[in-house]
């Protein structure tokens, strides 16, 4: 199988790299923001990269959302600025249920604005007592004569307070539904979350007796869980792409240091233990990249049938990023410990990758479960 990128992906990659380069001078500043940085958002809009997140019918770049294209972009953006990568990724993660199951009116109202990044998207899943175990959510929607009544709290929601709407996963009777909730709907309030080690636009979103029209459901009642899984099937592999970009950036920083830093009469790169750290890191990155591109290509054809491979890629790449960045800090010694240096920033950003969109332990359980199912 040929894993070289087709010309259309190389063009997208070049545009993503150019966009990242255009904001490199403010990347460190933006990565420390817990609210949307206006210059980063302006760069995302100018790049038109958000067009990758919706079908062509609504202003998108391709006929359908393409997981490989998203991986390529996230790899390029994350290498420079996690804030830019996050804003880009959430345009798809927070809107895919609309693409998948929204009514004609919902799609027409929101997807063109997602493509232009005129509005930011958010997917509201997690709660104070519900993380990986989504079936334990307590946010509830009840059908009444007046419409749909929504009550509950969603916590640590990416783009919380910045999004124009929330796709809300809620319990409805004995099943789960997905609702499209405008951010300005009466009863919706947002409070900041505690700041993370790698700052991120986050908020706790409260829904107090929010009244919605019946057509606010995405798909039918009870289809919420399937829409969450459909979103993960397309976008989980993109976390692997971002992890690779982060790891590559760290390796380049450490390699530049090792080539120019002289100890014991020679460059660090020529000292055996340091050379081993660099070689192992490069090998980890290349293995993760090959698995990620293969998983993304498989997801192009049938995301739902290949979610285990997306999980493998996310697991492998995020774990590799943690190992690579740790080695790179070791290579750089005290210079790798300097607060607000690029390598220190990458070190902090690598850790959450093993938790976002499926913690490593949960992914291992799912992968093993599928393996035992298919092996006689």
- Look up 357 and say whether it is catalytic: yes
Give, to the nearest 10 degrees, the angle between helix 224-260 and helix 82-93: 160
- Structure-block tokens of residue 53: 């997140």
- Structure-block tokens of residue 123: 């997917």
Give, to the nearest 10 degrees, the angle between helix 272-301 and helix 307-332: 160
Cα angle, residue 150 at apex, residues 145 and 155 outer, rounded to 5°: 175
Q: What single string gives the DSSP state of each residue in 254-311? A: HHHHHHH-EETTEEGGGSHHHHHHHHHHHHHHHHHHHHHHHHHHHHHH-TGGGHHHHH
In the set 172, 253, 319, 357, the catalytic residue is: 357
- Structure-block tokens of residue 316: 């492998």
Task: State how far the Cα of 159 lies from the Cα of 79, in Å rounded to an integer.
Answer: 21
* 52 in Cβ contact with 66 (< 8 Å): yes
- Structure-block tokens of residue 85: 């990568």
Contacts of residue 174, defined as CB under 8 A and 6 or more positions apart, other chains included, come to: none
Q: Which residues pair with 217 in a beta bridge?
A: 179
Strands annotated E in the chain: 123-124, 140-143, 148-158, 165-172, 175-182, 188-192, 202-212, 262-263, 266-267
Residues serving a catalytic function are 357
């Amino acid at each position: 199988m040929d894993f070289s990128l087709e010309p259309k992906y190389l063009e997208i990659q070049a545009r993503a790299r150019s966009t990242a380069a255009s904001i490199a001078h403010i990347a460190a500043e933006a990565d420390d923001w817990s609210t949307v940085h206006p210059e980063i958002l302006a760069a995302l809009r100018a790049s038109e990269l958000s067009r990758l997140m919706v079908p062509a019918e609504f202003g998108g770049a391709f006929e359908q959302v393409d997981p490989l294209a998203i991986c390529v972009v996230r790899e390029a953006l994350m290498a420079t600025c996690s804030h830019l990568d996050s804003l880009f990724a959430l345009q798809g993660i927070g809107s895919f249920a609309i693409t998948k199951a929204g009514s004609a009116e919902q799609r027409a109202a929101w997807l063109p604005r997602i493509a232009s990044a005129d509005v930011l998207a958010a997917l509201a899943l997690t709660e104070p007592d519900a993380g990986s175990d989504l079936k334990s959510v307590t946010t509830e929607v009840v059908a009444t004569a007046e419409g749909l009544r929504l009550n509950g709290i969603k916590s640590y929601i990416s783009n919380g307070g910045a999004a124009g709407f929330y796709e809300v996963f809620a319990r409805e009777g004995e099943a789960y539904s997905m609702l499209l909730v405008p951010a300005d709907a009466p009863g919706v309030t947002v409070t900041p979350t505690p700041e993370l080690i790698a700052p991120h636009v986050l908020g706790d979103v409260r829904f107090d007796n929010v009244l919605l029209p019946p057509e606010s459901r995405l798909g039918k009642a009870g289809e919420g869980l399937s829409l969450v899984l459909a979103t993960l099937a397309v976008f989980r592999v993109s976390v692997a792409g971002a992890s690779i970009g982060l790891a590559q950036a760290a390796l380049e920083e450490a390699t530049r240091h090792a080539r120019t830093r002289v100890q014991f009469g020679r460059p660090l790169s020529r000292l055996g233990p340091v050379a081993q750290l660099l070689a192992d890191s490069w090998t980890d990155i290349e293995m993760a990249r090959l698995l990620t591109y293969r998983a993304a290509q498989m997801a192009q054809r049938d995301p739902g049938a290949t979610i285990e491979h997306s999980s493998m890629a996310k697991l492998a790449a995020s774990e590799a990023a943690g190992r690579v960045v740790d080695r790179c800090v070791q290579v750089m010694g005290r210079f790798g410990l300097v607060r607000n240096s690029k390598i220190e920033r990458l070190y902090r950003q690598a850790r959450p990758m093993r938790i976002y969109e499926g913690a490593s332990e949960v992914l291992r359980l799912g992968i093993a479960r599928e393996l035992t199912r298919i092996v006689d």
